[in-house]
């Protein structure tokens, strides 16, 4: 990372002496350099990033890129990756016909270590005694954490009675949900996560 920051500083300094067409990438390289580090804590990064934030509000905005580092535009991924053995999925389609984001992780029971037996809970968070709004929950082990999971049993359809039990957990949200990809000084593709707040 430090090697790339030095390379980025050299690229930005070098573009100051190039013709105006080449200077068009200077801002993109400044943005990349600043977002690859702690831009909030680096006063010299405030002008290019505040310029970026202001430009994002205008129609026809295009993310400034740095051709020298083969940088991409910004991309958005609000959720952390699912744990190993779990798959991201979108819960249920919305009432308006659209699908929600893949905000949950799901794993078959065979991939999950259950810590405590499942219980039935009602929609208000209490133990179920009647009603159809209940769901089964269980405490499961993920790495060194114990997490509360929803238990779903899904029928495979057809004429048989085959069912599969899945555990479902919410995906944690990222503190830095945006990222840029770029080639570092060794030509290796890197990803830098950031937040504009």
Listing DSSP states for 84-111 in one string gives TT-EEE--S--TTS------EEEEEGGG
Per domain, the residue ranges of the chain are 2-77+175-194, 87-170
* pLDDT attached to residue 5: 42
Contacts of 35 (CB under 8 A, 6+ apart): 49, 180, 192, 194
- Under DSSP, the state recorded for 159 is S
Query: Which tokens sit at 178?
Result: 């945006």
Q: Which position has the token pair 């037996």? A: 117
Locus of tokens 């990803």: 191
**What are the tens digits of pLDDT across the range 103-154?**
999 998 888 877 766 555 444 444 443 333 457 888 888 888 888 898 888 7
The pLDDT of residue 157: 64
The angle at the Cα of 174, spanning 171 to 179, to the nearest 5 degrees, equals: 125
Residue 134's pLDDT is what? Answer: 55
**What pLDDT does residue 110 have?**
83
Q: What is the pTM of this model?
A: 0.67
Hey, how many other C-beta atoms are within 10 angstroms of the C-beta on 20?
7
Residues 6 or more apart in contact with residue 105 via CB below 8 angstroms: 82, 83, 86, 87, 88, 89, 168, 169, 170, 171
| Residue ranges for the chain with pLDDT beneath 50 | 1-21, 94, 121-133
């Amino acid at each position: 990372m430090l090697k790339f920051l030095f390379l980025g500083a050299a690229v930005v300094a070098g573009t100051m002496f190039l013709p105006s067409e080449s200077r068009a990438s200077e801002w993109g390289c400044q943005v990349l350099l600043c977002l690859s580090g702690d831009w909030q804590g680096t006063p010299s990064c405030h002008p290019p990033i505040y310029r970026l934030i202001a430009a994002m509000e205008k129609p026809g905005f295009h993310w400034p890129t740095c051709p020298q580092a083969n940088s991409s535009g910004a991309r958005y991924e609000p959720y952390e990756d699912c744990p190993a053995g779990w798959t991201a999925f979108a819960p249920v389609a919305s009432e308006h016909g659209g699908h929600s984001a893949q905000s949950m992780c799901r794993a078959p029971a065979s991939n999950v270590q259950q810590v405590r037996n499942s219980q039935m809970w009602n929609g208000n968070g209490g133990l179920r005694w009647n009603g159809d709004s209940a769901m089964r929950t269980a405490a499961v082990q993920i790495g060194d954490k114990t997490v509360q999971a929803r238990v779903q049993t899904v029928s495979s359809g057809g004429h048989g009675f085959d069912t599969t039990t899945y555990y479902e957990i919410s995906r944690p949200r990222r503190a830095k949900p945006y990222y840029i990809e770029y080639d570092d000084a060794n030509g290796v593709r890197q990803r830098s996560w950031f937040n504009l707040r």
